[in-house]
């Protein structure tokens, strides 16, 4: 192995020093870029976290509203007419109570397990509206499938309504 002279040693040491300085500067630059990228990712995650927390709060409010509504619905007791005769009778009772003339009542095509009745009637318009309200508050589960109203004598309307109810016995 050959010995290096002093000027050559200085050149080699200077080159190694310059290389070391350049390596430190480049390393610091690359490290700075990595830090900035990580900061950007952290900021993005914080934004996503705020969005998700707001979504969780919203879902929690909706869940609480659902539970409260479900509790109210669960407390409401629905009664079912025991048979078709009781169902038809309660429908007709509300009509006569409001002064509505019943022209005909006949069974209608029910959905499976239910009973349906078609009622043709004539009466004052506002009395007919009262009957609709009374049917809704009749005390047993009733669904109005369809209704049609038409003009009759002055101040009166004629109409046809189809009502349906599940029966306590399950029969139709």
| Listed ranges 33-37, 132-136, 142-146; the one with the highest mean pLDDT | 33-37
Sign of CA dihedral 141, 101, 99, 129: positive
Q: Which CATH architecture has domain 84-166?
A: 2-Layer Sandwich (3.30)
144: CB partners within 8 A, 6+ apart: 132, 135, 161, 162, 163, 164
24 or 142: which carries more pLDDT confidence? Answer: 24
Confirm whether pTM is higher than 0.75.
Answer: no
Neighbours of 80 (CB within 10 A): 18
CA distance 2 to 21: 28
Q: Considering the chain, what is the average pLDDT of its residues?
A: 87
What's the pLDDT tens digit per position in 53-95? Answer: 999 999 999 999 999 988 887 776 767 777 788 888 888 888 9
What's the pLDDT tens digit per position in 117-138? Answer: 899 999 999 999 999 888 887 7
Token pair 């629905």 in the structure block, residue: 78
């Amino acid at each position: 192995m050959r010995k290096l002279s002093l000027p050559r040693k200085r050149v080699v040491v200077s080159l190694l020093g310059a290389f070391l300085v350049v390596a430190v500067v480049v390393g610091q630059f690359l490290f700075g870029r990595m830090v900035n990228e990580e900061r950007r990712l952290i900021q993005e995650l914080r934004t996503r976290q705020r969005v998700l927390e707001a979504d969780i709060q919203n879902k929690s409010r909706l869940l609480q509203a659902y539970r409260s509504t479900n509790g109210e619905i669960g407390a409401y007791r629905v009664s079912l007419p025991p048979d078709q005769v009781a169902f038809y009778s309660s429908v007709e009772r509300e009509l006569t109570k409001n002064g509505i003339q019943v022209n005909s009542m006949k069974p209608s095509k029910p959905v499976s397990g239910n009973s349906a009745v078609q009622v043709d009637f004539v009466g004052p318009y506002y009395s007919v509206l009262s009957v609709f309200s009374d049917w809704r508050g009749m005390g047993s589960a009733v669904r109005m499938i369809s209704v049609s109203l038409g003009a009759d004598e002055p101040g009166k309307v004629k109409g046809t309504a189809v009502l349906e109810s599940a029966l306590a016995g399950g029969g139709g």
